[in-house]
Amino acid sequence: MITNLAAALALTATLGAPPAQPAAGTRLPGTGARVVADLAGRPVRLTSYSVLRPDSQRAWSPAKKAFVKADGPVTVSPGERWEATLVTRAPAAPTVRFLDRRTGRKTEVELPVPEDLERGRGYLHTSWPTWSPDGRTLLLNVFEPGFEPRSEGIVLVEVPALKARFVRIENALITVGGFQWTRDSKGVVVRWGKNGRSAVRQYDLTGAVKRTWQVRGRPVGHGLGTFSPSGRRFVTACTSLEKAACVWDTRTGKAVTRIKIAFSPVWGPVLGWYDERHLLAPVRDGFGVVDLKGRVVETLVKADKKQRIYPWFDARAKS
Is the pLDDT at 143 greater than 80? The verdict is yes
Is the pLDDT at 112 greater than 50? The verdict is yes
Q: What is the mean pLDDT of residues 119-129?
A: 85
Residues making up the chain, counted from first to last: 319
What Å distances lie between residue 98 and 85, 116, 186, CA to CA?
7, 25, 22
| CA–CA distance, 164 with 159 (Å, rounded to integer) | 9
Is the pLDDT at 129 greater than 70? The verdict is yes
Predicted confidence at residue 13, as pLDDT, reads 40
Is the pLDDT at 265 greater than 50? The verdict is yes
Provide the residue type at 60 as one letter.
W
Collect all residues with Cβ–Cβ distance below 8 Å to 202 and sequence separation of at least 6: 182, 187, 188, 189, 209, 210, 211, 212, 213
Q: Is the pTM here over 0.75, yes or no?
A: yes
Mean of the per-residue pLDDT values of the chain: 90
What band does 236 get if pLDDT is binned at 50, 70 and 90? very high
Is the pLDDT at 116 greater than 90? The verdict is no
pLDDT tens-digit map of 186-220: 999 999 998 778 899 999 999 999 999 999 999 99
Q: What is the mean pLDDT of residues 18-44?
A: 91
Burial 147-167 (b: 16+ CB within 10 A, else e): eebebbbbbbbebeeeebebb
Is the pLDDT at 9 greater than 70? The verdict is no
Is the pLDDT at 16 greater than 50? The verdict is no
List the domains of the chain with CATH numbers: 5-315 (2.120.10.30)
Is the pLDDT at 14 greater than 80? The verdict is no
What band does 2 get if pLDDT is binned at 50, 70 and 90? very low
Predicted confidence at residue 194, as pLDDT, reads 83
